[in-house]
Amino acid sequence: MKIHKSITIERVTEAVERANEGTDNPGFCVSCGVEQEGCEPDAEKYECDTCGVNAVYGAEQLLLYMA
């Protein structure tokens, strides 16, 4: 899977920590790099609200791919 250059391991790790400490449900579009709220942790290929591509992954799922 090709991941947008703006999505770094640090950015995803911070999002996972935020989700674990509160009620955030962050995900990331691997196509355009935007962070999207309201994603299940194991989300895969959800539609991006910004670019419309089915490329949004939950932060925890994306972290597994990047590890």
User: 10-65: per-residue pLDDT in tens?
Assistant: 999 999 999 999 888 999 999 999 999 999 999 999 999 999 999 999 999 999 99
Range of the domain at 55: 9-66
**Is 35 part of any domain?**
yes
Question: DSSP alpha helices (H): ranges in the chain?
Answer: 9-21, 59-66
Question: Quick check: is 21 in a domain?
Answer: yes
User: Would 4 be classed as within a structural domain?
Assistant: no
Dihedral, CA of residue 11, residue 40, residue 37 and residue 1, to nearest 10:
50
Number of domains in the chain: 1
Tell me: pLDDT of 67 over 90: no
pLDDT given for residue 1 in this prediction: 86
